[in-house]
Amino acid sequence: MANHESIISGLQAIPSMTEETLLEFPCQFPIKAMGKSDLELDLLIIEIVRRHVDDVNEGAVTTRPSKDGNYIAVTVIIEASSKRQLDAIYQDLTDHPHVLMAL
């Protein structure tokens, strides 16, 4: 029993894989999302990001249409404060039906 307890206690000291990151916070981080261009996707992406970020500057948002103009990519540069914050943003983006991809 004592041997199992020491193994369990040793495992508790190992940080969770979900908490590991190579980023140093706070840092500038580009949030990218893509969807159909017939929607006001940029406004939707900004609204989702603002749920998690206090300040999104107007100049921090860029859009880029696809070659044929059917899709649009939206990039929002934020001041990321933690991996948890980034995970929450990406979860909200990918949960939305109009967001086809988030990077």
* Superfamily of structural domain 21-102: ACT domain (3.30.70.260)
Asked whether residue 15 carries a pLDDT value surpassing 50, the answer given is no
Domain layout of the chain by residue ranges: 21-102
Q: Is the pTM of this model over 0.75?
A: yes
Distance CA 38, CA 72 (A): 9
Residues 6+ apart with CB under 8 A from 20: none
**Which H/E stretch holds residue 26?**
none
Give tens-digit pLDDT for 44-73: 999 999 999 988 987 999 999 999 999 999
